[in-house]
Amino acid sequence: VEPHVSIVTLGVADVAAARRFYVEGLGWPTVYDAPEVVFIQVGHGLLLALWGVADLTADIGSGPLGGGPAPISLAHNVGSEQAVHDVLAAAERAGATIVKPAQRAVYGGLQGYFADPDGFRWEVAHNPGLRVGADGRVTLEAVES
Amino acid sequence: VEPHVSIVTLGVADVAAARRFYVEGLGWPTVYDAPEVVFIQVGHGLLLALWGVADLTADIGSGPLGGGPAPISLAHNVGSEQAVHDVLAAAERAGATIVKPAQRAVYGGLQGYFADPDGFRWEVAHNPGLRVGADGRVTLEAVES
């Protein structure tokens, strides 16, 4: 099986509220924008979908999904420590809750976390050991622990 | 804020078990492979991280994360309907549970879902309306509903 992710779908309580945060608040452009689902391009060949959790649950069709903050995080890596502060501030202005202010990360960079209106955790990070080549290949230096 | 996702981190019960599924079962190559965390390249500049849910929770530092299947899905889009069947079969052989066998999707393609050993839902889909350009830009035709 070829390793790839095409779409990360967040099951949200209110698509309009999620849209307000990501599209109006953060200014992220949509690829497809409808009342019931919004798709945003967040990488090379990668979409973020905002879809009502009931619709997502019905589409999967295997019973209820869990409540509470999902046991995942989406990392938004940036090129400098200043950018970590800037993105966290922009997220907060857009309606996010800062759940971990910017601080030293175990991997030697700077990190913080915000929660979107549904509680999904985003890490905003500057990790000098994570590099993306022109071909998209990622290298990661040893994680200090 | 520039729209991008660098890493999708799954908080898993047992990193070794998750590694067995993704690395040994599906054959996905690692970028960084340690007992406490495994990184797999799953897109252009995109990593999937398998990290113990306790470590992820501690890193976020904002209280417990939810239980039950996370209200998200990760879509693995493929180029043909046959590939949907093939990937679902490969996932099942690797230890996944098929939670929705391959069937017609509302968007006119074929889709199925499997759950990984931690219950994370992956959609395996052939969507003829989703196209990725050479520059990584995604276009999506109107979703029928």
Q: State yes or no: pLDDT of A123 exceeds 60.
A: yes
Interface pTM, i.e. ipTM: 0.90
pLDDT of residue A63: 87
Tell if the CB–CB gap between B41 and A137 is shorter than 8 Å. Answer: yes
pLDDT of residue A129: 93
Nearest CA of chain B to the CA of A103: how many Å?
A: 11
- Residue-wise pLDDT for A30-48, tens only, equals 999 999 999 999 999 999 9
CA distances, B74 to each of A74, A78, B42, B68, B90 (Å): 12, 23, 11, 16, 17
How would you class A98 by CB atoms within 10 Å of its CB: exposed for 0-12, middle for 13-18, buried for 19 or more?
A: middle
pTM for the whole structure: 0.91
The Cα–Cα gap between B51 and A33 comes to 33
Beta-bridge mates of residue B100: B113
Give chain A's mean pLDDT: 93
Low-confidence ranges of chain B (pLDDT < 50): 145
List alpha helices for B21-137, DSSP H: 53-60, 81-93
A4 to chain B: nearest residue by CA? B42
Is the Cβ of B11 closer than 8 Å to some Cβ of chain A? yes
Tell if the CB–CB gap between B39 and A123 is shorter than 8 Å. Answer: no
* CB within 8 Å of chain A, chain B residues 116-145: 120-121, 123, 125, 130, 132, 135-140, 142-143, 145
* CB within 8 Å of chain A, chain B residues 56-115: 56-57, 59-78, 87, 90-91, 99-100, 106, 113, 115
According to DSSP, residue A61 is labeled: -
Query: Would you mind telling me the total number of residues written for chain A in this entry?
Result: 145
Nearest CA of chain B to the CA of A137: how many Å?
A: 6
The Cα–Cα gap between A53 and A51 comes to 6
Q: How many CB pairs under 8 A join A and B?
A: 246
Nearest Cβ partner for B46 among A46, A68, A143: A46
Q: Determine the average pLDDT of the residues in A22-28.
A: 95
pLDDT of residue B119: 94
Is the Cβ of A54 closer than 8 Å to some Cβ of chain B? no
Tell if the CB–CB gap between B44 and A45 is shorter than 8 Å. Answer: yes
Other Cβ atoms within 10 Å of B100 Cβ, number: 18
Beta-bridge mates of residue B39: B32, B49
Q: State yes or no: pLDDT of A144 exceeds 60.
A: no
